[in-house]
Amino acid sequence: MTTCDTTPFAVRTQRSGTRFVATCHGELDMTTCEVFFAAVLPGITDTTTDRVQVDLAEVTFLSASGLRTLLLLLCAAHRNGKSFELHHLRPQVRRVLDLFGCTTFAAGLVWEATMSPGGRRH
């Protein structure tokens, strides 16, 4: 288990079989997204995991920088053949995802449309 703490954000990670879980607490914004990215990326690049889950139950704020970090991690997960799931979204976090059209975070569509070499670009 790994714990990274900065004020006002903390992320705890753990592996359970082939599953990697990151549990977040606080505000995911431009001052904390690097800590979040650094904590979750090892679960994505670990060859023994096949599923990355992010528990956002205790995330009280999600900025555009935080959303960008989630999308970067989603793309990294796809590149590494992993599923990437968000769980326990608070209403204010869901609102940000809704605003940017990411609520159905089965957002392989985001990957295909923006990052895949053969993907369509609008």
**DSSP track, 44-63:** HH-TT--EEEEEEEEEEEE-
What is the structure's pLDDT at 98?
84
Is the residue at 93 inside a domain? Answer: yes
Is residue 53 assigned to a domain?
Answer: yes
Pair 85, 105: CB distance under 8 Å: yes
Q: Is residue 121 part of a domain?
A: no
User: Does residue 25 fall inside a structural domain?
Assistant: yes
pLDDT digits (tens, 9 = 90+) for 68-121: 999 999 989 989 999 998 999 999 998 998 888 776 655 444 444 444 444 444
Domain count of the fold of the chain: 1
- The 10s digit of each residue's pLDDT in 11-65 is 999 999 999 999 999 999 999 999 999 999 999 999 999 999 999 999 999 999 9
Who contacts 85 (Cβ-Cβ below 8 Å, separation ≥6)? 51, 52, 53, 54, 105
Residue 70 CB neighbour total at 10 angstroms: 26
Confidence at 122, pLDDT banded by 50, 70, 90 = very low
Please give the residue range of the domain that contains residue 15. Answer: 2-113
Q: Using CA atoms, how far apart are residues 68 and 97, in angstroms rounded to an integer? A: 11
- How confident is the model at residue 40, as a pLDDT? 98
Q: Does 105 map to a domain?
A: yes
Residue 118 covered by a domain: no
49 falls within a domain: yes
Residue 120 located in a structural domain: no
Q: CATH no. for residue 36? A: 3.30.750.24
